Structure 1
């Protein structure tokens, strides 16, 4: 009988064709659906533009007013219709009130004085620069229906996604079903072809046998028999182990990259980055003290008495933020934690006196034998916070940016030029050094910044 090796080229070609077909024919199911269309119009019966009114509201009113809740001032949802029904006041009264509220109060207007007395005799800020058209837009925004709840919007999106198909209108389920059917037919064809070839071989007296396995020496045995290779490998392993052991020991006490989870999530990216809040507004003691200090919760409440929820960037959250769970609802929940800690009743806009301490986790911690003074660097030397703490305005979670080792500090003292302009003390030293040694740029090292007693005492 004739013997032939079992090399079924037809099966291989058919398998590769199947893979190529599935790769090019499969629909992009994971592709994001198109965003829902915006509302068709923003015009209201009063002639205002709600979209423009929202921008004006956020710019002029949002610090003291919300649409659906009382803050420093009353809630403004449907304010025009409520005033018309309850007090008989028209839009002309609102024009006068918004542009010059103290004047309306002094005129003896009953409702104006009622509001003035209700809110601790604090008159609303006058906005004489707002035109009647601007006020119309703001009132259109306050009269617009509230947006749908996030849960309902999410449910609607899921329903639309489940029922939607590709650009041709065919649903994803039909396409997947067709692909499964084609795959099943190809598998059946492959089995039938294989069975038919075996029958033809048997009818012609051809014995199909498997290729004899080639006996090979195991890799580990071949490696052990090569003494030179074993010696070189042992030397490389010893040197590599010594290198990594030295690197590990040199990192003892160095916490670069340390980013603990805090009891209340605080985003430097939002505060210092998006809102441009200066570092020293919260860490005010960095100007005059050895330490930068932990901001008290009262500093937070300077803004968050009025900012009770996070509405996010106009562009919307990034994909990274969504992947990490940093949604508007998440940030709003963290503001509620702040209220609970400080004892703030947001409904009645007053403190309850029931506060709770916040156990912040320290990030930067120098050894006790090292002395560092923030005021010397911030106020005298004019060093920017980012020099040591990195791009804080980009950090969602604060972490230790620099190694804060002695070598790192010494390198900074050697390379950083002292700002002598406007400082008579340094100007005098610079003049003497220039006269004696010809020094052009005065560094911290030349002022004794490398002496051991400067940092270790």
Structure 2
């Protein structure tokens, strides 16, 4: 019988296989790109030559106060409006909605009555191209949540390239460590048996010396020195403990509604005294009332995805905003107050003793002291905490180091020259102006 041999693959065959694979991959990519660009293509067909980037700028400056792209606010959500309305009608409505309503247009009247007869601002400065740009922006497909993508990526990293989970690796290492421990115990017992069989003295055969505590008790010098050090340690420990009574530096309680100074004072750069307005004119800085929060959050029902961190997700922040709505009785569906409010039991962080007088307006308005001087870099805090110890020594040191601002103050200017000669200094500190007198801070 004739022996047959398989024909080996040559370069021509390999090239054909590679070409086939390349064609399949390219076809698959074309399909994916076609699907991903489907929404964009449909938008371009409806609104040709529109620029959604310019539309975003116009939307944020003109429309964002009352409208959202994908959810209702003061006005209806705008995504899909080009499918619900004719383009010519939209041009007229956006430029002057009241004129269209007065003309008796059925769609305009129905929309006006449906949304509680809230008048929409007129925008005569917008031309058709500007409106096309805005509509191109609002018709962009809704982006996928960033948190979900991050979780998928984190899961992929946790699996590793080999597909073996971390728990399995740690379990195997634990088993190996246990086996090594058992082997060491068996080896030790075997060596002891060999030593006993050959007459070699082991550790158990060596004579025991005097216990260390007996030797220590017989040495009177060591006993005396130890007692002195023990008494000093107890005295220092007791003094340190008593000096910390009432000092709550670093106190960081969890509030009933999570408020991030990092987002508000840091990323959004909201000025501290916008919320704590009484700090300018009052002894206390005050806790902002919830209506101050609602000045912004009537329109801001969710945070931007990039605001989220590894510890606090976007869903967490959005849920906290819902707690604010529940407390104020705000109904997002009707964009109105229900009247059913709930008190928020905020946890106080800074608390001075009753016999200590401190006036915020005296420091903030007259002294011109920044909030961060006493409260730390609040713009970086996710959870507000007590930054300073607020002890008497801490306040006195500040009075000794802080200079008085005499410019524009007739009283200080009058006595500045005399006190400058008295203390032989160019600038006067709070201490030199009487800031260390007991009656300044204590009743």
Fold equivalence (TM over 0.5):
yes
Q: Shorter-chain TM-score: what band? A: 0.7 to 0.9
CA contact (8 A) 1:49 1:141 kept: no
CA contact (8 A) 1:283 1:292 kept: yes
Specify whether residues 230 and 267 from structure 1 end up closer, same or farther in structure 2 by C-alpha distance, changes over 3 A only.
same
**2:375 aligned with 1:389, yes or no?**
yes
For structure 1, the 5+ residue unaligned runs are 1-36, 84-88
**2:415 aligned with 1:422, yes or no?**
no
CA contact (8 A) 1:46 1:136 kept: no
Q: Which moved more, 1:51-60 or 1:353-362?
A: 51-60
Report the CA distance between 1:356 and its aligned residue: 1.2
Per-residue CA deviations over 1:430-449 (Å, capped at 9, x if unaligned) read 13434665441022222221
Per-residue CA deviations over 1:195-234 (Å, capped at 9, x if unaligned) read 9xx9xxx9xxx96888711545455455445443343333
CA distance in 2, matches of 1:228, 1:55: 83
**2:219 aligned with 1:229, yes or no?**
no
CA distance in 1, matches of 2:127, 2:306: 25
CA distance in 1, matches of 2:301, 2:80: 20
Per-residue CA deviations over 1:330-349 (Å, capped at 9, x if unaligned) read 11111111111111111111
> Secondary structure at the residue paired with 1:172?
coil
> Secondary structure at the residue paired with 2:369?
coil
Per-residue CA deviations over 1:302-332 (Å, capped at 9, x if unaligned) read 0111111223436x52x4xx2xxx2111111
Per-residue CA deviations over 1:60-103 (Å, capped at 9, x if unaligned) read 544322233321121122222222xxxxx12x5545655x3468
**2:247 aligned with 1:254, yes or no?**
yes
Match of 2:76 in 1: 74
Report the CA distance between 1:299 and its aligned residue: 0.4
CA distance in 2, matches of 1:365, 1:441: 32
TM-score, with structure 1 as normaliser: 0.71
CA distance in 1, matches of 2:43, 2:289: 46
> Secondary structure at the residue paired with 1:293?
coil
Match of 1:144 in 2: 141
Per-residue CA deviations over 1:158-216 (Å, capped at 9, x if unaligned) read 88678x651xxx5337xx79x969x99xx89x99xx99xx9xxx9xxx96888711545
CA distance in 2, matches of 1:453, 1:380: 19
Specify whether residues 413 and 62 from structure 1 end up closer, same or farther in structure 2 by C-alpha distance, changes over 3 A only.
same
TM-score, with structure 2 as normaliser: 0.73
CA distance in 2, matches of 1:104, 1:209: 115
1:181-220, aligned counterparts within 5 Å?
212-213=202-203, 215=206, 217=209, 219-220=212-213
More helix by share: 2
Match of 1:302 in 2: 295
CA distance in 2, matches of 1:256, 1:250: 13
| Alignment counterpart, residue 442 of structure 1, candidates 425, 428, 441 | 428
| Alignment counterpart, residue 163 of structure 2, candidates 167, 171, 178 | 171
Report the CA distance between 1:283 and its aligned residue: 0.7
CA contact (8 A) 1:371 1:455 kept: yes
1:312-327, aligned counterparts within 5 Å?
312-313=305-306, 316-317=308-309, 319=310, 322=311, 326-327=312-313
1:41-440, aligned counterparts within 5 Å?
43-47=40-44, 61-83=63-85, 89-90=86-87, 93-94=89-90, 97-98=93-94, 100-101=95-96, 105=100, 108=103, 110=105, 111-112=107-108, 114-116=110-112, 118=115, 120-124=117-121, 126=123, 128=125, 132=129, 135-136=132-133, 139-145=136-142, 147=144, 166=161, 170-172=162-164, 212-213=202-203, 215=206, 217=209, 219-313=212-306, 316-317=308-309, 319=310, 322=311, 326-434=312-420, 438-440=424-426
CA contact (8 A) 1:71 1:349 kept: yes
Structure number with greater CO (CA < 8 Å, separation at least 6) is 1
RMSD: 4.2
Per-residue CA deviations over 1:403-457 (Å, capped at 9, x if unaligned) read 1122221221121111111222222221343466544102222222122221122
Per-residue CA deviations over 1:126-176 (Å, capped at 9, x if unaligned) read 39479837843753553414526967x6886688678x651xxx5337xx7
Specify whether residues 158 and 291 from structure 1 end up closer, same or farther in structure 2 by C-alpha distance, changes over 3 A only.
closer
CA distance in 1, matches of 2:255, 2:295: 21
CA distance in 2, matches of 1:412, 1:267: 28
Per-residue CA deviations over 1:246-282 (Å, capped at 9, x if unaligned) read 0111111222222222111111111111111111001
CA contact (8 A) 1:339 1:345 kept: yes
Size of the aligned set, in residue pairs, is 388
Specify whether residues 340 and 210 from structure 1 end up closer, same or farther in structure 2 by C-alpha distance, changes over 3 A only.
farther
